[in-house]
């Protein structure tokens, strides 16, 4: 059995497993159905591509030349599907307009239909033979361009995940189940896959056909990555939670819109838009006055928010969100965000967890020696040991164990 034949065996096994995984993802009822469907489509595309791997065996492509390059355009679907999957997982919008990402695939299919698919069998065999030998320079240029196409989508996907990470920290106080670190790490891991592929394409372009053997590693890494992504996605299907997009958040409301929301000045709430008989000129005066009072109003709201946090202790709710705090404190969510950004200089996640850390420090002083650090952390509003340790280290510069040991030493 020849080496090319042996190397196609893992591809075919992977393809068979991929069809099964895609079926599970399409049927999965838990989590974000749209994201699951996009991931299933990507797994299905890769599985189809793997199914055509035997076409690189000389005895196969000479016997079935009509199969040459049939699955090749589908490689232009992998990166857009990955990007749209990340978009859906991060609360973005995927609709009919998203079909624009598949234009390169459609154009390439049309190109191959016009220049290759209807060519004689001899021409198809000649093309693949030259390609495998690295003699087709224009095709090597195309492969390099295709690699850059994937690279661009990889960058966009990572940018989406970074933006998502910032957004959830502005809306949630506990993010362990929704932080998508697993997806960010898997997307980042594609750098290795892309780097090896880039080396192969550049080497082929420069006349080093021997580097084509690295495609074995590329194929194995790509297949392994795809299955790992699908497996983790299935395991974490229930972790998806909708996060408001930038367009959905009311932070960009105009001054006139803000007038319909009660504003606070020195602790007194006033509705500037409550009087229907106000003339246009008077409403404009009210808007200018609100703008002038904004710094003072911001300070008053900050003090009101801090007083509410200290007295009512809403942070003891481990599932506290920006919207929930807005309801409890009678301060609009966009105003809380404004206070945190402009007057306190922290995001919502750090703001709430700072109070939880201080609560833990107060409770640990009165806790019996047999009480564990984690028990007190749960009573302070944290819902996991890892999140507590990270928050405590960030806000105090010590680990909880170090702080407790220091406190016990100070008593002795």
347-412 topology per CATH: Arc Repressor Mutant, subunit A (1.10.10)
pLDDT beneath 70: ranges in the chain: 1-7, 134, 209-219, 237-295, 412
Please report the sign of the dihedral spanned by the C-alpha atoms of residue 88, residue 92, residue 94, residue 95: positive
The CATH fold assigned to 3-239 is Rhopdopsin 7-helix transmembrane proteins (1.20.1070)
Sketch the domain layout of the chain as residue ranges: 3-239, 249-345, 347-412
Predicted confidence (pLDDT) per residue in 210-267, tens digit = 666 666 666 677 777 777 878 787 777 665 455 544 334 443 333 333 333 333 333 3
pLDDT at 230: 80
Predicted local confidence at residue 381, as pLDDT: 95
**pTM given for the model:** 0.77
Predicted pLDDT at 95: 95
**Residue 216 confidence (pLDDT):** 65
């Amino acid at each position: 059995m020849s080496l090319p034949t042996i190397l196609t065996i893992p591809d075919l096994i992977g393809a068979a497993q991929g069809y099964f995984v895609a079926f599970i993802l399409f049927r999965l009822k838990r989590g974000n159905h749209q994201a699951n469907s996009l991931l299933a489509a990507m797994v299905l595309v890769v599985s189809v591509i793997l199914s055509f791997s035997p076409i690189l065996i000389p005895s196969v492509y000479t016997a079935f030349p009509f199969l040459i390059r049939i699955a090749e355009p589908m490689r232009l679907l992998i990166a857009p599907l990955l990007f749209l999957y990340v978009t859906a997982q991060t609360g973005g919008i995927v609709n009919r307009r998203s079909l624009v990402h598949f234009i390169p695939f459609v154009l390439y299919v049309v190109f191959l239909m016009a220049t290759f698919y209807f060519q004689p069998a001899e021409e198809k065999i000649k093309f693949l033979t030259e390609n495998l030998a690295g003699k087709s320079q224009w095709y090597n240029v195309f492969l390099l361009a295709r690699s850059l196409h994937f690279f661009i989508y990889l960058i966009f996907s990572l940018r989406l995940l970074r933006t998502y990470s910032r957004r959830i920290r502005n809306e949630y106080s506990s993010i362990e189940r929704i932080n998508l670190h697993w997806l960010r790490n898997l997307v980042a891991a594609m750098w290795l896959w892309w780097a090896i592929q880039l080396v192969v394409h550049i080497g082929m372009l420069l006349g080093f056909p021997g580097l084509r053997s690295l495609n074995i590693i590329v194929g194995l890494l790509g297949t392994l990555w795809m299955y790992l992504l699908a497996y983790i996605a299935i395991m974490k299907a229930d972790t998806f939670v909708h996060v408001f997009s930038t367009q959905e958040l009311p932070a960009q409301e105009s001054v006139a819109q803000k007038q319909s929301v009660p504003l606070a000045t020195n602790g007194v709430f006033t509705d500037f838009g409550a009087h229907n008989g106000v003339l246009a000129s008077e409403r404009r005066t009210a808007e200018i006055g609100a703008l002038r009072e904004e710094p003072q109003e911001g300070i008053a709201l900050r003090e009101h928010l801090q007083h509410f946090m200290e007295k009512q202790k809403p942070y003891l709710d481990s599932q506290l969100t920006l919207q929930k705090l807005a309801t409890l404190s009678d301060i609009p969510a966009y105003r809380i965000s404004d206070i945190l950004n402009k007057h306190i200089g922290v995001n919502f996640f750090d703001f709430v967890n700072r109070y939880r850390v201080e609560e833990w420090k107060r409770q640990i002083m009165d806790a019996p020696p047999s009480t564990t650090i984690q028990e007190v952390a749960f009573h302070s509003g944290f819902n996991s040991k890892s999140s507590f340790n990270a928050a405590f280290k960030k806000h105090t510069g010590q680990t909880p164990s170090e702080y407790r040991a220091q406190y016990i030493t100070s008593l002795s």
